[in-house]
């Protein structure tokens, strides 16, 4: 039976990428060695790193605009620490949007470095909307927000306007839509949503903003360290980076962010239309803030739960249970999710 993988992360990846990656584990580029046993400084892997970084900047339309693309370790959770280390002045101040579990964790880390101004929060309604009313102080070092809230199914459609540095955690919607990425000074994202396996973290940073906060930064946590060593200050996670490179090439071959955004909108509309028109279901997030990556929804009649659960399991659907913070269901429909899998879920909902 074909499986329909709606997991929130680690998530679905393109089948052709998985096939190439599996071959590389056994025999990489016909050199009769595995990708995961060759030196990260060998010409073969250096070419992988170079290509992955090039593809990142190409897809985000940042090539030649003074940005570096880094592949690091520690997940987005380590970036919660690295961002204030690198961007907040001694006794400085940062502005944070509190729109979910991960943004709350990010601002908690930043509080160890200086003043954190929570400029807006949707915690009052269990993070089911994106706050629109906020004021950012003029003496703010940087503004931080999470573009897509995986657990709660909300997504920023417009971004904060500020004269401060703009920082965004794009872990769960990176490479899913066309944006003016030059408006951002630093973007970070765990690989395990739209890029590759867990283990690598992408950081895209404007070079000119670094080294200006007069703070002593541990070597490993300094972005300039990793830029100077081309993401190879220590041994990089070679397999996740290779898979990310393959996925980014797959995306470019498809037509880039223009093409994938159209597909993602069509997929989200298909599922949201069923949720809105079927009296047995209701969306968990405010309509104007709904995510195109993580669709959260609830049954309106809990007596139907056993029947619904049995039907989607029999259809080969996996990873659709909602997070405990929200309940109900969460269909994560990242770039590699085919619309046919969403149609399977919609048909089950129609016939419940």
- Asked whether residue 142 is assigned to any structural domain, the reply reads yes
**pLDDT at residue 121 in the model:** 97
**In terms of domains, do 327 and 206 share one?**
no
* Bridge pairing between strands 154-155 and 201-206: unpaired
**Does 257 score more than 90 pLDDT?**
yes
Measured between alpha carbons, how far is 261 from 178 in angstroms, rounded to an integer? 7
With respect to residue 300, please indicate whether it lies within any of the assigned structural domains. Answer: yes
Same domain, 224 and 312: no
Based on the domain organization, do 150 and 197 belong to the same domain?
yes
Residue 155 banded pLDDT, cuts 50, 70, 90: very high
Q: Which of 246, 99, 68, 113 is nearest to 172 (CA)?
A: 99
Among residues 254, 269, 293, which one ends one of the domains? Answer: 254
Q: Where are the beta strands (DSSP E) in the chain?
A: 4-5, 67-72, 93-98, 115-121, 142-146, 148-149, 154-155, 165-169, 186-190, 201-206, 281-283, 294-299, 317-318, 329-332
Task: Tell me what the pLDDT averaged over the chain comes to.
Answer: 96
Q: Are 270 and 248 part of one and the same domain?
A: no
Together in a domain, 270 and 146:
no
**For the chain, first and last CA: distance in Å?**
21
Report pLDDT digits (tens) over 4-18. 999 999 989 999 999
Total domains in the chain come to: 2
pLDDT tens for 69-114 read 999 999 999 999 999 999 999 989 999 999 999 999 999 999 999 9
pLDDT 10s digits, 203-216: 999 999 999 998 99
Pull the structure tokens for residue 203. 């950081």
Contact 348, 276 (CB under 8 A): no
140 and 248 belong to one structural domain: yes
Show the tokens assigned to 98.
């509190």
Q: Mark which of 254, 280, 297 sits at the end of a domain.
A: 254
pLDDT of 230 reads 95
Q: Which residue, 205, 223, 254, sits at the end of a domain?
A: 254
Contact 318, 307 (CB under 8 A): no
Residue 6 lies in a domain: no
Whether residue 282 contacts residue 295, with contact meaning beta carbons closer than 8 Å, is answered with no
Q: What is the CATH number of the domain that holds 311?
A: 3.90.1150.10
Query: Annotated catalytic sites, by residue?
Result: 102, 169, 193
- Please check whether residue 328 lies inside any domain of the structure: yes
- Backbone dihedral angles phi then psi of residue 121, each to the nearest 5 degrees: -145, 145
Residues 191-201, mean pLDDT to the nearest whole number: 95
Q: Is residue 2 part of a domain?
A: no
The answer to whether residues 102 and 165 touch, using CB atoms and an 8 Å cutoff, is: no
109 shares its domain with 205: yes
pTM of the model: 0.96
Is 297 a domain residue? yes
Q: Reply yes or no on whether the pLDDT at 2 is more than 90.
A: no
187 and 168 Cβ atoms separated by less than 8 Å: yes
- CB under 8 Å to 277, separation ≥6 — which residues? none
Q: What is the model's pLDDT at position 1?
A: 62
In a domain, 9, yes or no: no
Is 4 inside any structural domain?
Answer: no
Do 205 and 296 lie in one domain? The reply is no
Same structural domain for residues 184 and 325?
no
Same domain, 280 and 195: no
Q: What is the pLDDT of residues 278-311, one digit of tens each?
A: 999 999 999 999 999 999 999 999 999 999 999 9
Based on the fold, state whether residues 64 and 94 are members of the same structural domain.
yes
- Supply the pLDDT for residue 149: 97
Asked whether residue 303 falls in the same domain as residue 339, the answer is: yes
Token couple for 330: 């969460």
Range of the domain at 344: 256-350
Q: What share of the chain in percent tops pLDDT 90?
A: 98
Read out DSSP for 48-87? HHHHHHHHHHHHTT-TTTTEEEEEESSHHHHHHHHHHHHH
Q: What is the mean pLDDT of residues 161-181?
A: 97
């Amino acid at each position: 039976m074909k499986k329909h993988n709606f997991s929130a992360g680690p998530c679905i990846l393109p089948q052709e990428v998985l096939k190439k990656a599996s071959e590389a584990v056994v025999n990489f580029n016909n050199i009769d060695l595995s990708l995961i046993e060759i030196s990260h400084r060998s010409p073969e892997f250096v070419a992988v790193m170079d290509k992955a970084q090039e593809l990142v900047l190409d897809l985000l339309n940042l090539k030649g605009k003074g940005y570096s693309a880094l592949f690091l370790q520690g997940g987005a959770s380590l970036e919660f620490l690295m961002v204030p280390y690198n961007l907040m002045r001694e006794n400085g101040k940062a502005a944070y949007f509190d729109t979910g579990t991960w943004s709350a964790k990010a601002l908690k880390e930043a509080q160890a470095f200086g003043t954190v101004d929570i400029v807006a929060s949707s915690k009052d309604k269990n993070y089911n909307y994106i706050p629109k009313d906020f004021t950012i102080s003029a003496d703010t070092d940087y503004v931080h927000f999470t573009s897509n809230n995986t657990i709660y199914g909300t997504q920023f459609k417009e971004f904060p306007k500020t004269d401060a540095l703009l920082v965004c955690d794009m872990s769960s919607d990176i490479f899913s839509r066309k944006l003016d990425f030059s408006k951002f000074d630093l973007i970070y994202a765990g690989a395990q949503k739209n890029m590759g396996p867990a283990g690598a973290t992408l950081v895209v940073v404007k070079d000119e903003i670094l080294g200006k906060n007069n703070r002593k930064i541990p070597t490993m946590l300094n972005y300039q360290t990793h830029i100077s060593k081309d993401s190879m200050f220590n041994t990089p996670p070679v397999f996740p980076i290779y898979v990310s490179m393959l996925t980014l090439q797959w995306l470019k071959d498809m037509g880039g962010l223009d093409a994938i955004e159209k597909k993602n909108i069509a997929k989200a509309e298909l599922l949201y239309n069923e949720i809105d028109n079927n009296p047995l279901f209701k969306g968990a997030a405010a309509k104007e803030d709904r995510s195109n990556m993580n669709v959260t929804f609830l049954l309106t009649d809990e007596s139907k739960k056993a029947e619904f659960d049995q039907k989607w399991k029999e259809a080969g659907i996996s990873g659709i249970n909602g997070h405990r913070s929200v309940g109900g269901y969460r269909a994560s429909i990242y770039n590699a999710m085919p619309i046919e899998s969403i149609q399977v879920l919609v048909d089950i909902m129609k016939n419940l």
